[in-house]
């Protein structure tokens, strides 16, 4: 006899399907519960049966080799009708509901059946945990209780599974939302970048003929000027330059936000840059009735920085000082290695201008900040210059700050890290590499005798040369030292190799071959001269650590390179 449908059949099926358990693979936790039920009740067959619309499907079954049967013959379809207690059939042949059941008259010949309903949290029974025997049997009260407890465990497992599932889906959704958000933010920044790039292009276009024609007039190409005309055209030119600088600032600030601000750090000297900049800006300082001078405590050690960016920062600070200092004032550019910070070069721009209040001093590096009471002069910029300066200095590994006394002047200072050899050498100092007791210094001098190469061609050639040298060395045994700020006349690359003379000779050969194949270098008219020297590793008594060894090696290296430099000078 087929079991009648439960009153809640429709909702019951919905619940069952919500758990998404039907037709899933076997799982150990359910197998364990089935096994326990069969052990406790002493039956050869036990199952977790889920009653679907037309079938019962076994999440787990012990003692029978089936995964599902028709609902028509399912004992469990009867067991789910009473959600309060287990259905116990002691002898199916004696029960009118089951005596004609195919599973009783035929295989597997069921006689005993006990099934406890699996009642889920919403009150619907989706199936049973059941035990089955081929002989009639009674269930003791403790076996009956155990079966009920295990049934609740199956329910708990199913609930847990659903919660984990919901949680996983929430996490996936959350991750997707986050990714979406990040993409939108990136798109917005890119869009802003494109927009500013476009605007900057469009603004520069009309500015170009303004500059061209004002300079044509000023250079008297179109005829002689009187003093007033010259003065007025000077005002136009100055403002055109300012507009141009503002457009650049706008672009830089956007770049900084999108992480696209390019900073190309190399070994460089500051002395020449300071001299050049101060002499260039002396003209506009002089025009404002100011003295501009540099005090360089030199020669300064090499720093690792981007020369173009250092120039940008320093000229911004000097131009600010010129703007905020009254007629007759004095601006001094200082550069030194501070005694309390031997690892940096300190650059300072001191003026005798109006100074900054404590609050302004705190906030001048913020984007778009302009001091309230600085007068009309402060209106000449976008308020981005110092913000960009801060971003650039920090990108180069330095720090920027201001000290000021209102009415007496300000001093803007920033630091740049000194270039040291030792940190580049430390990774080479492995026990195997140290076994030679020597290291080699290979120098490659690129010289342009033709003097024909333009700046861009020179840059392209030296970049290709650099890549050739890089490709010729073994990264775990050799290091190519950071490039020295380049000149069109040529560049020198230095390779430190953990090798003996033979090893160094092989590297020299490899570099020569690669450089010879480099079209850009040849086309620009460069010739390469290679030289090698083998130096003894510093004899440090153990337990000298790698850092100490690197410092000693760096000293030996500097001495060696200095000797070379001096020979060249003679």
- The region that residue 42 occupies, defined by phi over 0 for left and psi between -120 and 50 for alpha, beta otherwise, is left
Helices (H), 259-384: 271-287, 307-323, 358-363
- Applying the rule CB under 8 A, the residues between 126 and 155 that interact with another protein are none
Q: Read off the tokens for 47.
A: 């199952």
* Binding window for another protein (CB under 8 A); candidates: 70-78, 133-141, 171-179, 485-493: 485-493
**Residue 39's closest CA among 62, 57, 12?**
62
* Binding window for another protein (CB under 8 A); candidates: 169-177, 265-273, 365-373, 527-535: 265-273
Q: How far is the CB of 178 from another protein (least distance, A)?
A: 30
Q: 129: Cβ–Cβ under 8 A, 6 or more apart, which residues?
A: 33, 34, 37, 46, 47, 48, 49, 115, 116, 118, 147, 150, 151, 154
Among 15, 200, 378, 380, binds another protein (CB under 8 A): 200
**Residue 421's closest CA among 262, 555, 256, 237?**
555
Q: How far is the CB of 399 from another protein (least distance, A)?
A: 21
User: Does 191 interact with another protein (rule: CB under 8 A)?
Assistant: no
Question: Is the torsion defined by CA of 263, 265, 270, 273 positive or negative?
Answer: negative
User: Does 522 interact with another protein (rule: CB under 8 A)?
Assistant: no
DSSP tag of 136: -
Burial track 173-199 (b if 16+ CB lie within 10 A, e otherwise): eeeeeeeeeeeeeeeeeeeebeebeee
Q: Read off the tokens for 104.
A: 């009783």
Q: How far is the CB of 515 from another protein (least distance, A)?
A: 20
Q: How far is the CB of 448 from another protein (least distance, A)?
A: 13
User: Does 213 interact with another protein (rule: CB under 8 A)?
Assistant: yes
Q: How far is the CB of 376 from another protein (least distance, A)?
A: 26
- Closer to another protein by Cβ: residue 110 or 214: 214
* Binding window for another protein (CB under 8 A); candidates: 17-25, 52-60, 264-272, 384-392: 264-272
- Applying the rule CB under 8 A, the residues between 402 and 421 that interact with another protein are 418
- Applying the rule CB under 8 A, the residues between 274 and 333 that interact with another protein are 275-280, 282, 291-302, 306-309, 311-312
Among 159, 187, 264, 359, binds another protein (CB under 8 A): 264
User: Does 221 interact with another protein (rule: CB under 8 A)?
Assistant: yes
Beta strands per DSSP E along 284-408: 291-296, 303-305, 330-336, 344-351, 400-405
* Binding window for another protein (CB under 8 A); candidates: 23-31, 195-203, 394-402, 430-438: 195-203
- Applying the rule CB under 8 A, the residues between 439 and 478 that interact with another protein are 452, 454-457, 459-460
User: Does 211 interact with another protein (rule: CB under 8 A)?
Assistant: yes
Q: Read off the tokens for 76.
A: 């469990």
| Size, binding site for another protein by CB under 8 A | 75
């Amino acid at each position: 006899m087929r079991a009648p449908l439960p009153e809640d059949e429709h909702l019951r099926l919905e619940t069952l399907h919500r758990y998404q358990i039907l037709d899933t693979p076997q799982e150990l936790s359910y197998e364990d519960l089935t096994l326990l039920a069969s052990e406790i009740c002493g039956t050869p067959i036990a199952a977790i049966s889920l009653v679907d619309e037309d079938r019962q499907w076994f999440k787990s079954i012990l003692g029978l080799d089936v995964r599902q049967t028709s609902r028509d013959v399912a004992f469990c379809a009867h067991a789910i009708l009473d959600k309060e207690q287990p259905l116990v059939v002691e002898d199916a042949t004696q029960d009118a509901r089951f005596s004609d059941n195919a599973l009783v008259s035929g295989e597997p010949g069921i006689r005993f059946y006990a099934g406890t309903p699996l009642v889920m949290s919403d009150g619907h029974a989706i199936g049973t945990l059941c035990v089955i025997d081929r002989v009639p049997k009674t269930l003791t009260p403790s076996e009956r209780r155990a079966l009920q407890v295990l049934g609740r465990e199956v329910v708990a497992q199913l609930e847990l599974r659903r919660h984990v599932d919901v949680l996983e889906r929430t996490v996936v959704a959350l991750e997707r939302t986050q990714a979406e958000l990040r993409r939108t933010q990136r798109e917005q920044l890119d869009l802003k970048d494109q927009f500013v790039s476009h605007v900057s292009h469009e603004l520069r276009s009309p500015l170009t003929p303004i500059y061209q024609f004002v300079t044509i007039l000023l250079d008297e190409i179109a005829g002689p000027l009187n003093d007033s005309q010259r003065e007025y055209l000077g005002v136009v030119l100055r403002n055109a330059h300012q507009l141009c600088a503002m457009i650049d600032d706008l672009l830089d600030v956007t770049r900084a936000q999108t992480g696209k601000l390019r900073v190309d750090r190399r070994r460089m000297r500051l002395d020449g840059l300071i001299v050049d900049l101060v002499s260039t800006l002396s003209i506009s300082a002089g025009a404002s009735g100011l003295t501009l001078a540099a005090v360089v405590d030199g020669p300064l050690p090499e720093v690792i920085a981007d020369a173009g960016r250092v120039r940008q920062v320093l000229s911004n600070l000097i131009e600010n000082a010129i703007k905020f200092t009254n007629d007759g004032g004095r601006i001094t550019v200082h550069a030194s290695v501070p005694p309390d910070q031997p690892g940096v070069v300190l650059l300072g721009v001191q003026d005798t201008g109006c100074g900054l209040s404590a609050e302004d001093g705190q906030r001048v590096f913020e984007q778009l900040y302009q001091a309230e009471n600085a007068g009309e002069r402060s209106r000449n910029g976008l308020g981005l210059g110092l913000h960009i300066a801060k971003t650039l200095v920090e990108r180069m590994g330095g720090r920027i700050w201001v000290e000021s006394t209102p009415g007496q002047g300000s001093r803007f200072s920033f630091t740049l890290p000194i270039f040291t050899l030792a940190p580049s050498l430390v990774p080479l100092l492995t026990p195997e590499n140290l076994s030679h007791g020597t290291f080699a210094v290979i120098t490659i001098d690129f010289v342009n005798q033709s003097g024909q190469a333009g700046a861009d061609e020179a840059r392209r050639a030296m970049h290709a040369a650099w890549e050739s040298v890089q490709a010729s060395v073994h990264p775990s045994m050799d290091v190519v030292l950071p490039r020295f700020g380049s000149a069109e006349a040529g560049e020198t690359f230095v390779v430190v190799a953990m090798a003996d003379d033979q090893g160094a000779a092989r590297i020299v050969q490899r570099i020569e071959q690669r450089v010879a194949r480099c079209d850009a270098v040849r086309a620009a008219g460069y010739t390469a001269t290679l030289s090698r020297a083998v130096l003894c590793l510093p004899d440090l008594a153990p337990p000298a650590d790698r850092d100490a060894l690197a410092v000693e090696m760096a000293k030996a290296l500097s001495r060696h390179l200095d000797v070379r430099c001096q020979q060249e000078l003679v």
